[in-house]
């Protein structure tokens, strides 16, 4: 797309969330649109949870809006607003992307988990056959759990501030992958090869740590899905205690690539 060219034929994409200041997705998509000379643009919309349904009712009436990226805290409630769900979304119970289909209906799917596994593999950390701990059973955590199960992890322990939600997620994943050793539990149920934070704890100053990495073996890789700050308090502490770390930018890149394909684009070419 020519620099500054936004006109009546420009196709629109957006990302919605709260908070929204740290998102990088618009940069990735707009750079791609420029490289490919696509007359499209992505912008960010700050949408509070209480306003989500009102916002959605307006957005879906915009005939030149082709796709939406969904971030926290809207990933789970958006499943009840779109018209259909892809397989990843049905397993995760959440979506992070929605696209307008040719018949005008909206389909949602979830790529956080795909992005997490892709980010691990690109950094040389194969999840298959590993013992993994996952903090968070919300939208992102559910997606990550499903993708880790699909990747063939050996054991998966899920913890959440709501123990019943963690147990429900473990049951849901076990029903799809009956051979997987998965259960709800705590960081104390290790040892683990990889420990992942899939909660928003660490995004705001003063947030408590999602878990304490200190008791984990030094060989454990500590992963955070948060992208801002790039190195979260969890990762700072993990480095101090001698653990390898992986920031959320790797997962973000992987899920953006997958979401772009969902919209019909190749982010990497």
Residue 243 pLDDT:
98
Residues noted as catalytic: 75
Q: Are residues 39 and 133 in the same domain?
A: no
Whole-number pLDDT of residue 62: 96
Where is pLDDT greater, at 204 or 264? 264
Verify that 121 and 150 share a domain, yes or no: yes
Task: Say if residue 209 is in the same domain as residue 100.
Answer: no
Tens of pLDDT along 6-63? 899 999 999 999 999 888 899 999 999 999 999 999 999 999 999 999 999 999 999 9
Judge if 47 and 146 occupy the same domain: no
* Beta-ladder partners of 196: 134, 223
Supply the CATH number for residue 143's domain: 3.40.50.720
Within a domain: 2: no
Q: Mind listing the pLDDT tens digit for each residue in 208-218?
A: 999 999 999 99
pLDDT of 172 above 80: yes
Reported as a pLDDT band with limits 50, 70 and 90, residue 66 is very high
The answer to whether position 6 is within a domain reads no
Whether 143 is in a domain gets the answer: yes
- Is pLDDT of 105 > 70? yes
Flag whether 1 is in a domain.
no
Give residue 200's domain range.
113-251
Whether 60 and 142 map to the same domain: the answer is no
Residues 102 and 118 in one domain: no
Both 20 and 82 in one domain: the answer is: yes
Residues 89 and 57 in one domain: yes
Residue 146 pLDDT exceeds 90: yes
Q: For position 230, what pLDDT does the model report?
A: 92
Give a yes or no: residue 118 inside a domain: yes
Does the pLDDT at position 155 exceed 70?
yes
Our count of domains for the chain comes to 2
Query: In terms of domains, do 34 and 57 share one?
Result: yes
For residue 55, the domain's CATH number is 3.40.50.10860
Global pTM? 0.86
191 is a domain residue: yes
Is residue 3 in a domain?
no
Which pLDDT score, from 0 to 100, does residue 4 have? 58
Query: Quick one: 93 and 141 in the same domain?
Result: no
Could you tell me if 51 and 149 lie in one domain? no
Q: Does residue 259 sit in the same domain as residue 243?
A: no
């Amino acid at each position: 797309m020519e620099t500054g060219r936004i006109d009546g034929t420009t196709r629109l994409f957006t990302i919605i969330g709260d908070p929204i200041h740290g998102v990088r997705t618009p940069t990735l998509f707009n750079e791609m649109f420029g490289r490919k000379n696509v007359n499209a643009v992505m912008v960010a919309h700050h949408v509070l949870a209480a306003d989500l349904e009102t916002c959605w009712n307006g957005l879906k009436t915009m005939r030149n809006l082709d796709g939406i990226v969904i971030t926290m805290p809207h990933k789970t409630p958006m499943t009840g607003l779109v018209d259909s769900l892809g397989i990843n979304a049905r397993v995760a119970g959440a979506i992070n992307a929605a696209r307008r289909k040719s018949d005008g209906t909206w389909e949602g799917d979830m790529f956080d988990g795909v992005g997490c596994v892709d980010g691990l593999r690109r950094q040389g950390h194969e999840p298959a056959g590993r013992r993994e701990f996952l903090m968070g059973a919300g939208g992102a955590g559910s997606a990550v759990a499903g993708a880790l199960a699909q990747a063939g992890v050996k054991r998966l322990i899920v913890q959440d501030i709501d123990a019943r939600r963690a147990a429900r997620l473990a049951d849901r994943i076990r029903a799809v992958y009956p051979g997987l050793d998965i259960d709800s539990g705590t960081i104390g149920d290790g040892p683990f090869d990889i420990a992942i934070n899939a909660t928003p704890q660490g995004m705001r100053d003063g947030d408590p740590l999602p878990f304490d990495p200190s008791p984990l073996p030094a060989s454990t890789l500590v992963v955070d899905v948060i992208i801002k700050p790039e190195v979260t308090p969890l990762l700072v502490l993990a480095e101090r205690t001698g653990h390898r770390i992986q920031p959320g930018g790797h997962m973000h890149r992987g899920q953006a690539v997958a979401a772009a394909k969902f919209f019909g684009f190749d982010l990497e070419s």
